[in-house]
Amino acid sequence: MKTTFLLLTLAVGCALSCSAGTLVESTYTEIINDVSTLATDGAATPAKLAKVVKAPDRVRTGAQSRAELTAPDKTITRVGANTVFSYSDQGRTVNLEKGSLLFHTPKGLGGGTIKSGGAAAAVLGTTLMVTATPDGGFKVILLEGRGSVRLLNGRSVTLQAGQLVFVLPGGKGFSEVVFINLGKLVDGSQLIKGFTHELSSLPLIFAAIREQLARIDSGRLQDTGWTAEVYLNPPTPANGLNALDHGSYGNALPAPSSAEQLYNLFGKPSGQQGAARGPSGGTSGRGLTVIGFPPG
């Protein structure tokens, strides 16, 4: 089957003319459980700390497994469970065959391009999660800062911290952009909390959570209790909006945090004391839920 790559640009904080070195290799800086490097002939070698992974070799993780890799320019690639990805041998491209990644490029160091199935996205200066969907699309969750996703035909959407969008396969465009409960995601995310190394952007992510909690506490936003997949396509998820990111927020983790637990973890909004009216427990089980605008 012929594959057509759709170029999308996720531009955050700088123009596309920002200079950036190549991203053709990274070093294992943390390994959890079953992680291996696959050579071009398919031979698998167990991953080892301080071992360099170079294009076109692939990284593969098993169930309940994950890895962190650090490039010479401090670009971080965190790999979720049941994921296969590789770097390209030129430019700054990550090929995501399946599964999920957290990608962070320090500010001012450029970014990279993520390809998955029939789509691709160039990312600049931010922290985000990307999850491949079985039909060749993917979803993007921005964890801090601001950004946009742009198709080659010029169509684009703008994202801010705590927002999610599905990039539909086959050039069909985007889903609706929705807010997700960022505190619930981070509290249960193996890609954030499942490593001993702390992301340099974690304070920015926590600040984004506190800002969202303040909007919930004031009544400007509310937790719907629905997953993004159901919210965007009720009553039954379909059309590619059905790839819950278990590699990111783990189905072995406890149920989402209550409002007070989130406040205890990330801090109350400025000026707020006592019991919070914040996000409800929801009805969607584990993982993230959509934040919506109250009626009226």
- Give the C-alpha separation, 87 to 118, whole Å: 17
- Mean pLDDT value of segment 93-104: 90
Q: Of 167-171, 178-182, 225-229, 280-284, where does the model show the most confidence?
A: 178-182
Evaluate if residue 27 carries a pLDDT over 90: yes
Residues 152, 25 share a domain = yes
124-128, 198-202, 292-296: lowest mean pLDDT where?
A: 292-296
CB atoms within 10 A of CB 62: 13
Residue ending a domain, among 180, 205, 229, is 180
- Mean pLDDT value of segment 141-148: 87
- At 244 the three-state DSSP class reads coil
For residue 47, the enclosing domain spans 6-180
Structure tokens at 113: 């391009």
- pLDDT score of 229: 73
Residues 172, 57 share a domain = yes
- pLDDT score of 257: 56
Structure tokens at 224: 């719907």
- At 27 the three-state DSSP class reads strand
Report yes or no on 43 lying in a domain: yes
- Give the C-alpha separation, 244 to 289, whole Å: 11
- pLDDT score of 110: 63
Report yes or no on 77 lying in a domain: yes
Encode pLDDT of 232-281 as tens digits: 776 544 433 433 343 333 333 344 456 666 666 666 655 444 333 333 33
| Per-residue CA distances from 131 to 95, 136, 243, 277 (Å) | 12, 11, 8, 31
Residues 138, 20 share a domain = yes
User: What is the percentage of the chain residues whose pLDDT exceeds 90?
Assistant: 29
Q: Which residues pair with 30 in a beta bridge?
A: 68
Evaluate if residue 166 carries a pLDDT over 50: yes
Report yes or no on 111 lying in a domain: yes
pLDDT-derived band at 22 (thresholds 50, 70, 90) equals confident
79-83, 86-90, 151-155, 164-168: lowest mean pLDDT where?
A: 151-155
Residue ending a domain, among 180, 212, 234, is 180
- pLDDT score of 288: 60
Residues 141, 27 share a domain = yes
- Our separate counts of H helices and E strands in the chain read 6, 22
Report yes or no on 244 lying in a domain: yes
- pLDDT score of 280: 32
Average pLDDT, the chain: 75
How many distinct structural domains can be found in the chain?
Answer: 2
The residue behind tokens 């590789």 is 86
Residues 149, 51 share a domain = yes
- pLDDT score of 270: 54
Residues 169, 28 share a domain = yes
- pLDDT score of 269: 56
Residues 194, 170 share a domain = no
Residues 251, 152 share a domain = no
Encode pLDDT of 41-64 as tens digits: 989 999 999 999 999 999 999 999
CATH number of 154's domain: 2.60.120.1440
pLDDT-derived band at 218 (thresholds 50, 70, 90) equals confident
- Mean pLDDT value of segment 159-169: 86
- pLDDT score of 284: 30
Residues 157, 281 share a domain = no
pTM of the model: 0.79
Residues 38, 93 share a domain = yes
- Mean pLDDT value of segment 117-132: 76
Report yes or no on 123 lying in a domain: yes
Element (DSSP H or E) covering residue 262: helix 259-266
Report yes or no on 126 lying in a domain: yes
Give the DSSP letter of residue 180: E
Residues 140, 205 share a domain = no
- Mean pLDDT value of segment 220-240: 67
Residues 80, 44 share a domain = yes
Report yes or no on 1 lying in a domain: no
Evaluate if residue 283 carries a pLDDT over 70: no
- pLDDT score of 294: 59
Residue ending a domain, among 148, 180, 212, is 180
Q: Choose between 206 and 184: higher pLDDT.
A: 206
| Cis, peptide link before residue 56, omega less than 30° from 0 | yes
pLDDT-derived band at 202 (thresholds 50, 70, 90) equals very high
